[in-house]
């Protein structure tokens, strides 16, 4: 087991309109190991539980851009909701170990989430004004 850090995301407010369909949440991160033997994993914290994806143990110390996709909320097994997204945290687990005098560790310098959604359909009519302030036509 490694060191787990979670980061709360800002409240989505009006960024995702009420009635939107949330298609997926993708977590992205830049991670590396300090010496061969370190490991890292990224994921989400939702419903009070951490959900991690693939454990990465690269063969070199080069930073890697990794991602984990969640099409449903792993805590509930159903589609994401606005409330789920407002409470969502991104998570990273960094594993290190000591062998003799050597430390094998890992680093993560950036982690963030991207939420893909479809806004609700517009119902009713919307008036658009042209440059003269006149209503050219009604959208419905």
Q: Look at residue 16 and tell me if it is in a domain.
A: no
Token pair listed for 18: 């009420």
**pLDDT at position 1 over 70:** no
pLDDT tens across 18-46, in order? 899 999 999 999 999 887 778 899 999 99
Q: Which helix (H) or strand (E) holds 49?
A: strand 49-52
pLDDT tens across 46-88, in order? 999 999 999 998 888 889 999 999 999 999 999 999 999 999 9
Structure confidence at residue 139 as a pLDDT band (50, 70, 90): very low
Q: Look at residue 118 and tell me if it is in a domain.
A: yes
Residues 35, 22: Cα–Cα separation, whole Å: 39
Q: pTM of the predicted model, to two decimals?
A: 0.80
Token pair listed for 91: 């998570």
Structure confidence at residue 106 as a pLDDT band (50, 70, 90): confident
Q: Look at residue 17 and tell me if it is in a domain.
A: no
Look at the block and give the residue holding tokens 């787990």.
Answer: 4
Q: Look at residue 92 and tell me if it is in a domain.
A: yes
Task: Kindly report the CATH number assigned to the domain that includes residue 44.
Answer: 2.60.120
Structure confidence at residue 116 as a pLDDT band (50, 70, 90): very high
- Model pLDDT, residue 11: 84
Residues across the chain: 140
Residues 106, 39: Cα–Cα separation, whole Å: 6
Q: Look at residue 66 and tell me if it is in a domain.
A: yes
Number of domains in the chain: 1
Structural domain for 123, as ranges: 3-11+22-139
Q: Which of 111-115, 116-120, 126-130 has the lowest mean pLDDT?
A: 126-130
Residues 46, 87: Cα–Cα separation, whole Å: 7
């Amino acid at each position: 087991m490694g060191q787990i850090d979670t980061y709360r995301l800002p409240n989505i407010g009006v960024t995702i309109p009420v009635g939107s369909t949330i298609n997926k949440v993708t977590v992205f991160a830049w991670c590396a190991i300090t010496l061969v033997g370190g490991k890292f994993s990224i994921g989400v914290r939702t419903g009070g539980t951490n959900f991690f994806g693939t454990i990465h143990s690269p063969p070199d110390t080069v930073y890697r851009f990794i991602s984990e996709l969640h099409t449903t909320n792993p805590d509930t097994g159903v589609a994401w909701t606005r409330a789920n997204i407002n409470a969502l945290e991104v998570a990273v687990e960094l594993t290190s170990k000591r062998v003799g005098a050597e430390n094998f560790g890992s680093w993560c310098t950036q982690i963030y989430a991207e939420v893909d959604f479809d806004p609700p359909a517009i119902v009713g009519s919307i008036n658009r004004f042209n440059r003269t302030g006149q209503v050219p036509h009604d959208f419905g």
